[in-house]
Amino acid sequence: MIKKRVSLKDIAQKVGVSTALVSYVLNGKEKEARVGEAAAKRIKKVAAEMNYQPNLIARGLKFGKTHTLGLIVADISNPFFAMLARIIELEAQKRGYTVLFGSSDEQLEKSQNLINTFLNRQVDGLIITPVAGSQAQIEELRNKGVPFVLMDRGFSEIETNAVVTDNHDAMYNAVKLLIRNGYKKPGIIAYDTTLTHMMDRIAGYKDALKDSGIKFNSKWMAKVPYGNYKEHVAAALDGFLDAKGRAVDALVFATNSISVQSLKVIHARGIKVPQDLGVISFDESDVFDFFYSSITYIKQNLQSISENAVQSLMQSIDSRSKKYTKITVPSVIIKGESSSRRTTRGL
Amino acid sequence: MIKKRVSLKDIAQKVGVSTALVSYVLNGKEKEARVGEAAAKRIKKVAAEMNYQPNLIARGLKFGKTHTLGLIVADISNPFFAMLARIIELEAQKRGYTVLFGSSDEQLEKSQNLINTFLNRQVDGLIITPVAGSQAQIEELRNKGVPFVLMDRGFSEIETNAVVTDNHDAMYNAVKLLIRNGYKKPGIIAYDTTLTHMMDRIAGYKDALKDSGIKFNSKWMAKVPYGNYKEHVAAALDGFLDAKGRAVDALVFATNSISVQSLKVIHARGIKVPQDLGVISFDESDVFDFFYSSITYIKQNLQSISENAVQSLMQSIDSRSKKYTKITVPSVIIKGESSSRRTTRGL
DNA sequence: AGAAAAAGCTTATACGTTTAAGCAAAAATA
DNA sequence: TATTTTTGCTTAAACGTATAAGCTTTTTCT
């Protein structure tokens, strides 16, 4: 049995007034609309009795505002994005917004589908971690005047709202740290993509080498595809670390997932960290606690990224201005034992 | 600049017909509505040119159906729920549905808020991991005739749609395995809650003891609060394992998060697994790969749980029948070295 | 040719909400 | 008392869509 939700009309009928009056009262516009005290009282009473709840869909249609955001991440099951989603949910809720979510899987088509679906559902704005090659999709949003903000990554070609970690800085500092700690041949494992966050991290890596007077060697860098990265990471590590002379003496990992997978392989192969290989990871992970040496890692400020993304989006929604703001969030390096040969193993 | 979305009216004006005709054509009802070929062609052409996209909010209002689901999990940032969310997203999308999500944080108030918000947004149905004590909330949904399905946990008191792992069976088998492998005093660490999933797991544990002729000892069971479970898990382990005679010789962990936290402590304390302590975890985790002995764990069928939840909800939505289906999904035990003293350590 | 049927459209109404505009009665002013 | 102002309400229109019902005009039938 479908219980019909009570509408303004139902209340109006019960009280014996027009729906307009009910609407005025329930929206607290009794003064402006000069509603009589007696009627107002009755309406409120009946509304409470009938447990009236406004139909937000109807309101959305009326105002062209749904108080809904669309969140498009690469993969909600990735703890990194799940964490961002959690904070975004909270921030959105504080502002009376609800969140629709979807995973693009780093695929152009899925990304476009999600954007279309969300727009057709009249979301007020979008928070997007754009996939590689989606510039056209994003530009279309801009042309349509849809409020949106890119998160975690951006495009250098297009001016948009974006909130990203200072990736260059993060990686630069990480590599500098390794070099300061005596490593001579620091390598990197990154995703094979042109997305800015990856390019910036790679640039930071290279700049750190340059500023330290070390010439970059292309054999120090492995780029793995997003699809089946696990095998490729394993292969890359085997390439770096095979018996006939190690290609690198330290490694920075460019993402969360690469970090975890790399550590798994390093653990399985029995590589000694930090003696034989210095290591710095990107993002936190539970697994770090189990590695025999504590892991040095780059800690992004997820709270700040999410807060700023929501904040920036809200401004876009409210002002509808053409001004775009790029926000760069600093990260910190949490120092463990994995990045320094000179370390003394604690307890 | 706000670009107005094109509506049926815009197309109608451009073509010079009524909106009704446009609606008929774009919904493929040309035959039923006897629309002329010429007009139909023009309308389609103009609609394509103007890149018409239907306003799903308006449609939702018209039909009282939004093709939106509400997903309420305990915490989207928990990998277990994030994984469920991912699959639900996929299954929903296959059926033309989009997903609103929210985290209840195991708090009654948040749960109620989310339910209200989602209902006001006219979701067609809800997938809920209910929080402890939320029976009244759930029952209200039932009374209202709102389609919903409980996931991961249920209530024994209320008849509802529910999709849960066969928790009793899972835990029963795990404990039986430990006992078969020679452990005499298997303990358990669980959450302190009356939710069925936990009760069932605890019952499974106790029944396994009983069926093995072992008398349950209340000192073998630790119940930790959801709030700051990490400290409590550590304290519980210290209680079990302190120097003056070990209270237990094996442990099963009742959830994902308890498992990971327990392993961290065990690792930090240097407890020998499986020699000094047999261990079986609930759910998978990346951290298992780093433990010095491979971890035996109960693997829930997340795919099946999610699929069934969506499927069951869809049936509720379509049929609006009063029939409730309880679906129990089997799990498997993935055997590692952590649950058997007689194991030979591999490579 | 005249009537009936079919074709091709428009009008009207509805979903639930908001709000400007309008209207009658009561109160205040002259 | 006659006029204006205020009060308290209703009507109407709108958001974008869908569809039953109605209305011409053309075609088909007898």
Looking up residue A39, the CATH number of its domain turns out to be 1.10.260.40
- Among A54, A78, A101, beta carbon nearest to B120: A54
Residue B13 and residue B74 in one domain: no
The length of chain B, given as a count of residues:
347
Residues B228 and B255 in one domain: yes
Instruction: Please report, for the domain that includes residue A243, its CATH number.
Output: 3.40.50.2300
Are A161 and A312 within 8 A, CB to CB?
yes
pLDDT of residue A342: 64
Say if the Cβ atoms of A103 and B86 lie within 8 Å. yes
- Co-location of A129 and A214 in the same domain: no
A183 and A202 together in one domain: yes
Asked whether residue A119 is assigned to any structural domain, the reply reads yes
The pTM for the full model equals: 0.94
Assess whether B153 and B172 both reside in one domain: no
Q: Which helix (H) or strand (E) holds A328?
A: strand A326-329
Tokens of A98: 């609800």
Map residue A78 onto helix, strand or coil: coil
Same domain, A27 and A37: yes
Nearest chain B alpha carbon to A99: B100
* Residues B47 and B72 both lie in one domain: no
Give the Cα separation of B75 and B65 in Å (integer): 27
Structural domain of residue A125, as residue ranges?
A: 66-164+302-329
Judge: A89–B103 Cβ closer than 8 Å, yes or no. yes
Residues within 8 A of B (CB atoms), A 265-294 only: 267-268, 285-287, 289-291
In this structure, is residue B60 part of a structural domain? no
Q: Does some domain include residue A19? A: yes
- In this complex, the answer to whether residue B56 has its CB under 7 A from any atom of chain C, a nucleic strand, is no
pLDDT in tens, chain B (347 residues): 567 899 999 999 999 999 999 999 999 999 999 999 999 999 999 999 999 999 999 999 999 999 999 999 999 999 999 999 999 999 999 999 999 999 999 999 999 999 999 999 999 999 999 999 999 999 999 999 999 999 999 998 899 999 999 999 999 999 999 999 999 999 999 999 999 999 999 999 999 999 999 999 999 999 999 989 999 999 999 988 875 667 899 999 999 999 999 999 999 988 999 999 999 999 999 999 988 889 999 999 999 999 999 999 999 999 867 789 999 999 999 999 999 986 444 33
Counted domains in chain A: 3
Predicted pLDDT of residue A1: 55
B22 φ/ψ angles, rounded to the nearest 5 degrees: -60, -45
Query: pLDDT at position B345, please?
Result: 42
Strand C bases within 7 angstroms of protein beta carbons: 7-12, 14-21
Element (H, E) at A149: strand A148-151
Predicted pLDDT of residue B244: 67
Please indicate, yes or no, whether residues A77 and A23 belong to a single structural domain of this protein. Answer: no
Instruction: Count other C-beta atoms under 10 Å from residue A156's C-beta.
Output: 9
Q: Do A285 and A228 fall within a single domain? A: yes
A197 and A256 share a domain?
yes
The reply to whether A18 falls in a domain is: yes
A87 lies in the same domain as A188: no
Report pLDDT for A244: 67
User: Domain for residue B345, yes or no?
Assistant: no
Is residue B162's beta carbon less than 7 angstroms from any atom in nucleic acid strand C? no
- Does some domain include residue A339? no
CA A203 vs CA A169, A187, A193, B1, B132: distances in Å: 9, 13, 13, 36, 50
Q: Which two tokens stand for residue A137?
A: 């999709």
* Assigned domain for A176 exists: yes
Are A307 and B280 in contact by the 8 Å Cβ rule? The answer is no
Q: Tell whether omega for the bond before A274 is within 30 degrees of 0, i.e. cis.
A: yes
- For residue A326, which of A153, A186, A178 has the smallest C-alpha distance? A153
The minimum CA-CA distance between B143 and chain A, rounded to whole Å, is 8
8 Å CB contact of A86 and B99: no
Residue nearest to nucleotide D15 (CA to C1'): A62
What is the total residue count of chain A? 347
pLDDT lower than 70: segments of chain A: 1-2, 243-245, 320, 342-347
Residue A160 shares a structural domain with residue A306:
yes
Which chain A residues in 177-236 sit with Cβ < 7 A of strand C?
Answer: none
Q: How far is CA A83 from CA A78, A111, B208, in A?
A: 9, 20, 37
Residue window 71-90, chain A: list those with CB within 8 Å of chain B: 75-79, 82-83, 85-86, 89
Shortest CB distance from B89 goes to which of A102, A144, A322? A102
Task: Please give the sequence-ordered ranges of beta strands (E in DSSP) within A109-241, or none if there are none.
Answer: 125-128, 148-151, 162-165, 186-191, 221-224
pLDDT of residue B227: 86
Q: With respect to residue A340, please indicate whether it lies within any of the assigned structural domains.
A: no
Chains A and B form CB pairs within 8 A to the count of 143
